[in-house]
Structure 1
Amino acid sequence: MRIDEQPRTRWPDPSAFRHRRPDLRLGSRTHRLDRAGATNGDRISVQHTVRTATAEYTVLINAPVWLGRRGVVEALRDAVAELRAIDLTYGPTRPESLVSRLRRGEIAPDSYAPLADLVDRCTAMRAATDGWFDAWAVPGGFDPGGLLGGWAVERAAARLRANGVHDYAVVTGADLVVRGVAPHGGPWRVAVHHPVEPDRTPLVLEMTAGAVGTSGVSGRHGHVIDPHTGEPADQLVAATVVGPDLAVADAYATALYAAGPAGLEWFRGGSDYRALFADRR
């Protein structure tokens, strides 16, 4: 699968953040931006949360002041519209969505360009994970849910860039994508808390491009199926993956959760993706 941009991420010592509060915390329900909605010098910082039928997204924008508040609002409106449209158009639980129509054989995968891209991504991740991510091996037929949320975020992020915003973060649950710089002028400082052990010292990332995807923290028992047996996966308590693209990171996290420790082989050598957490039960 072609990746347009490599992640720029480093893992500093968490103690370095004693006097520098992280911009974002994953796994702690806190996605706060320090100066949300404020103009600071040559930057405009805005935070907005949108809820769809299936997810909640927080969009954090650090825009140049020359873009103006109207430009920032237009960029935000466009990104939010994309998130809502994907929920309506591709949600597997919606009877008239394109995914549901594809499952019923009413349309072909290449009927719509975004649908073709979604199917192609699922096909690529099935190959990349030795079949452990398999959107076709779930009850009811094709279900891209393992990467749909990440795909939606990446498409919303593309709308931000198309409107002139190149410094942003988009967070949903324990997943996020970031690009550019935070309002303080440096890389986004992300404290990644352990998915199911909140008292553990968080892993601190400094990121200017990249994504973090997590599987296993939805609260629903058996939500990830072992595609080889059809039974709920139960080897890991959670899996978190970092890399360039959130849809791919989400799919890898889902596959790793299903495969268990054997899936760690995917991240060795020259892989653009890295497993942050993969704890056994």
Structure 2
Amino acid sequence: MDRALLGHAEPPRHVWVEEIMGMPISVHLRSRGARPAPSAEAAVRACFDELHEIDRLFSPYRDDSEITRMQRGELTLDDADPRVREVADACHLAEQETRGLFTAHWRGVFDPTGYVKGWAVEQAARRHLAPLVQREPAVGINAGGDMQLFTAADTDWRWNVGITDPHSPETLLATLQVANGAVATSGTAERGEHIIDPRSGRPATSVASATVVADSLAHADVWATAAVVAGFDDRGWVADADTRTGLLVASDGRTARWLDGVPIEVTGVSRV
């Protein structure tokens, strides 16, 4: 996991974890009482159930998913579940906004895998978890290290999110305080060279870790991927990305940070 939820000792913390989309997804609730209310338990269950349903629709590893059937030519976009059209439209917009750094159509096949996780987690969290902060201090969801976080307006409690060094996972490079928003990380540190630059068809390797903070997890996830594809030395996209802040760690150990689209720091000594 790229980051840890490092919350304060109070209020009480409750955690639910379920394996979905091939990864552990956890919900973290900060409650006013010692035990979560039954309504909170029901909301968490509904959130997990929706994510399981999205996985059945979009998983490229299921023979019966709508994405797999589309790739085999057995299903058209017009006949697919309306959520598939929603994701296809969002991927098209993301490709335009990133100027091709992000795409769901590399090699001419519609594969929204790089978008669906962030979108699905955000949608399910907003629908089922966000209403909990009307009576509880805070709730958040963590999907393989990517987070959508909510905090009640009448509390000063904050989520403290630690960003680890991809070259030294036991070391924290930074700690962010987030009340409401999303944090997403992409890069080569944990999954190797799995992100392809669609402009060249080759793996994007110059960024070991790209962490992006934004209002929306879908948005943060897209721009974290785009940052890896752009490469460490090309940060021209930052000013137009509509993110809050972020941290890039290069494969040679250099780091770059920005705040509200403005670069604030580039540091580090080459490791090679």
Q: Which blocks of at least 5 consecutive residues in structure 1 are unaligned? A: 1-25
Aligned to 2:98: 129
In structure 2, give the amino acid aligned to 1:175.
Answer: D
Pair 32,203 (structure 1): closer, same or farther in 2 beyond 3 Å: closer
Shift of 1:63: 4.5
Distance 2:36 2:16 in 1: 17
Q: C-alpha separation between the residues in 1 aligned to 2:194 and 2:113?
A: 10
Residue 80 of structure 1 is matched in structure 2 by 48
More displaced 10-residue stretch of structure 1: 235-244 or 126-135: 235-244
Equivalent positions of 1:117-266 (< 5 A) are 117-138=86-107, 141-161=109-129, 164-165=132-133, 167-181=138-152, 185-217=156-188, 219-261=190-232, 263-266=234-237
Deviations 1:22-67 (A, max 9, x none): xxxx625x447677xxxx8xx76421111125111111123455x9
**Counterpart selection for 2:20 from 52, 61, 66:** 52
Q: Using the alignment, how far apart are the partners of 1:144 and 1:278 within structure 2?
A: 25
Structure 2 CA distance for partners of 1:261 and 1:55, relative to 1, 3 Å: same
Cα separation, 1, equivalents of 2:219 and 2:240: 17
| 1:267 and 2:235 correspond | no
Deviations 1:67-92 (A, max 9, x none): 96211111111011112222222112
Q: Percent identity?
A: 30
Q: 2:244 & 2:74 partners in 1: Cα distance?
A: 36
Tell whether the 8 Å contact from 1:260 to 1:280 is kept in structure 2 after alignment.
no
- State the match for 2:59 in structure 1: 91
Supply the AA of the counterpart residue of 1:250. Answer: D
The residue type paired with residue 224 of structure 2 is A
Equivalent position amino acid for 1:211 in 2: A
Higher RCO (C-alpha 8 Å, min separation 6): 1
Q: TM-score, normalised by structure 1?
A: 0.76
Q: Give the letter aligned to residue 105 of structure 2.
A: W
The two structures have a TM-score, normalised by structure 2, of 0.78
Is the partner of 1:124 in helix, strand or coil?
Answer: helix
Structure 2 unmatched runs, 5+: 253-272
The 3-state SS of whatever aligns with 2:117 is helix
Letter aligned with residue 246 of structure 1: L
2:205 counterpart letter in structure 1: D
CA distance in 1, matches of 2:101, 2:73: 24
Q: Give the drift of 1:279.
A: 1.7
SS, match of residue 234 in structure 1 = coil
The count of residues paired between Structure 1 and Structure 2 equals 247
Taking a change above 3 Å as real, the CA distance of residues 274 and 125 of structure 1, as seen in their structure-2 partners, is: farther
Q: Which moved more, 1:243-252 or 1:105-114?
A: 105-114
The separation in 1 between residues aligned to 2:66 and 2:32, in whole angstroms, is 37
Q: Is contact 2:148–2:217 with CA below 8 Å preserved after alignment?
A: yes
Q: State the Cα RMSD in Å.
A: 3.0
Structure 2 Cα separation of the partners of residues 149 and 69 of structure 1 = 28
In 1: Cα distance, 2:38 partner to 2:131 partner? 11
